[in-house]
Amino acid sequence: MSKPPPATPAEFDSLLPETHMERRAFVATLAAAGFAAAVLPVQAGTLIHTGDEGLDSGDLSLPVSGGELPAYFAAPAARAARSRLPVVLVVQEIFGVHAHIRDVCRRLAHLGYLAVAPELFFRQGDPRTLDNVGAILQEIVANVPDAQVMTDLDACADWAFARGGDPERLAITGFCWGGRITWLYAAHNPALKAGVAWYGRLDGPRSALTPQHPVDVAAALHAPVLGLYAGQDQGIPLADVTAMRGALQQAGSASTIVVYPDAPHAFHADYRPSYRKDEAEDGWRRMQAWFAAHLG
């Protein structure tokens, strides 16, 4: 089974930290928050922490092909009798389900959603054990089949429905690697009602494990997707964004793409130097409006 060719440095420059710091000073923080050493330095000054007051949240494990799928969930602790919660699947970056992704789940739960974030690399390895982006990409990400990711997300959706989630109000959002997965899942699951993809790759090399990219499935989306992209993203050329917009238009899709001209890749990641508060907050507002419009 073939693997995608090695990533070029230019494609992933924007994933790397912009400064270098003494690693030892951050070991305890990284361990506590679940961050991989590859994301150093963690920007404590902008890191957002959302409390779990009024929430039902925690870790879970789901039986899937190949083992037990770890995941984190958050939902409102109280709801009206017989009411069912809208469900949002939250898809990780390449760094796994760390403190930031868990915080995103809690933010969504405070808005009334049942949010679930699965550890989609659990069979291939733990990004927290690796100290550079290249190793994570080549040793873990390159070995993750898209088809496996789709079925794992299906398992999370089924778990959410069994726990009080509404099968008629299923959405997905993802960041970076998870942004690409968001587009693919919108073409995979006919029950999906909406997606929001944050700076997910739109095109690239194809292989047995990654046979299609978002630009290939633009005409097959079951649900409208809002794409949130960065004008200064070194890994996702604006030409790819233009091509995706053209494919969506040709397909008559209700999906749309917003580009923040001055933002870099990972502008929503409040724990990294790439964080841009204005663009992140605007994107979050747009996501809320998108879900409200399509989930009812």
For the cut 60, the answer to whether the pLDDT of residue 1 exceeds it is no
> What's 7's DSSP letter?
P
Chain segment 266-275, per-residue pLDDT in tens: 999 999 999 9
Q: What is the rounded average pLDDT of the residues 190-218?
A: 98
Q: What per-residue confidence (pLDDT) applies to 19?
A: 39
Residue 6 lies in a domain: no
Q: What is the pTM of this model?
A: 0.90
Residue 8 lies in a domain: no
Chain segment 135-160, per-residue pLDDT in tens: 999 999 999 999 999 999 999 999 99
Residue 38 lies in a domain: yes
Residue with tokens 């969506």: 248
Q: Where is pLDDT greater, at 17 or 178?
A: 178
Confidence of residue 13 (pLDDT cuts 50, 70, 90): very low
Q: What per-residue confidence (pLDDT) applies to 107?
A: 98
Residue 2 lies in a domain: no
Chain segment 233-253, per-residue pLDDT in tens: 999 999 999 999 999 999 999
**What CATH number is attached to the domain comprising 96?**
3.40.50.1820
Residue 253 lies in a domain: yes
Confidence of residue 2 (pLDDT cuts 50, 70, 90): very low
Could you give the residue numbers annotated as active site?
Answer: 176, 233, 265
Confidence of residue 21 (pLDDT cuts 50, 70, 90): very low
User: How much of the chain, in percent, has pLDDT values that exceed 90?
Assistant: 82
Q: What is the mean pLDDT of the chain?
A: 90
Residue 13 lies in a domain: no
Residue 118, classed as helix, strand or coil, is: strand
Residue 49 sits in which domain range? 19-295
Confidence of residue 35 (pLDDT cuts 50, 70, 90): confident
Alpha carbon distance 3, 248 (integer Å): 28
Which of these, 262, 286, 259, 296, lies nearest to 276 by C-alpha position? 262
Q: What per-residue confidence (pLDDT) applies to 278?
A: 98
Specify the number of domains making up the chain.
1
Q: What per-residue confidence (pLDDT) applies to 36?
A: 81
Alpha carbon distance 109, 1 (integer Å): 40
Report whether 157 contacts 189 (CB < 8 A): yes
Residue 242 lies in a domain: yes
Confidence of residue 79 (pLDDT cuts 50, 70, 90): confident
Residue 143, classed as helix, strand or coil, is: helix
- CA distances to 33, 55, 59, 133, 252 from 96, rounded to whole Å, are 11, 22, 14, 12, 34
Residue 11 lies in a domain: no
